[in-house]
Structure 1
Amino acid sequence: MKRNRMNWLSRLLRSLDTRHYLILAALWTAGIIVALTIPAPGLPKVDPSLTLDKFAHVILFGGLAIFWMRALRPDEPRVPWTIPWRRVRNLFLGGLLFAVGSEFYQLIIPFKRSADPYDALADVVGLVLGLGTYLLYRSRTVESNEEPAAREG
């Protein structure tokens, strides 16, 4: 049963092209901004403990990294795959600026929000996990799709 779900998910992901991932990445980013803007009067100012809030930040920024890594990958024929270090670096730096900037944003909006450096740290952890997950997934899917002769040579 689990294998059937993975095959369905794999087929769905392969059916999407760069244009679809650009839309998904933009919507995901907009969703993060909306989530940051919602008033949250019950939240404590700074809570360094591992709470559901921190896990939400990890998931949000992990998804951000995965969607943008795929969205910025050109649709190209199957060629030997290497790690796109420039894209990884640029996405990490952009995500870092977004994480830190989002905390400053929460300071200036007129709603009850507060900046939390631990949220920014959770965002960075999510970025790193998302980048690593994308690179691992991509390397394995390319490796499994190579022709047997190409792998031997």
Structure 2
Amino acid sequence: MTYFSKSTFFKSAMCVALSILPTLSFAYHIQITEPAEDRAYHRPAQSIDVQATVSPTLEMGYTTAVLLNGKVVGDGLTASVPTIDLVAGEYTLEAIVMDKNAQTVASDTRTVYVIQNNQIQRKKRAAIAEREAYDNSSIWHKIAVGLNPKVQAPPKVYESTPTWEIRDLPNKPNK
């Protein structure tokens, strides 16, 4: 029977442990803490602010990212997505942990909704209708408007006009 001294056994155990350590894969857990599931955001006024947590602490070479419908919108555990560039509808947020080979090892998803601010759309349609009525009016009406310092011609508003320009239009009282 062969006996090993304590120091020889300890050195052998350390060599085995060090040779196995690089092949170990850590089990990560990532969780989206903000926004809440099924949250609705008003377009274009709100941004989607995403926050996530991961445990345990990431090892060297591991990274995190935030995705919106599969496209990266932020590196790390936080991101802010402006809704002005999004159309109204359902979106999937995903927070992921990637290993050194860019393979996803952990993920969490949330569904959020972007809704259109209908007040701005109504204001836009009313401004378009008012401008069309002015454009279709007689030349004498346009001259009268031009000569009266208290009355202005309605602004040129089209379907392609950005909503931020519409927001700055004065509110007209309902007739």
Q: Which has the higher contact order (CA 8 A, sep 6+)?
A: 1
The TM-score range, normalised by the shorter chain, is under 0.3
Whose strand proportion is higher, 1 or 2? 2
Larger radius of gyration: 2
Whose helix proportion is higher, 1 or 2? 1
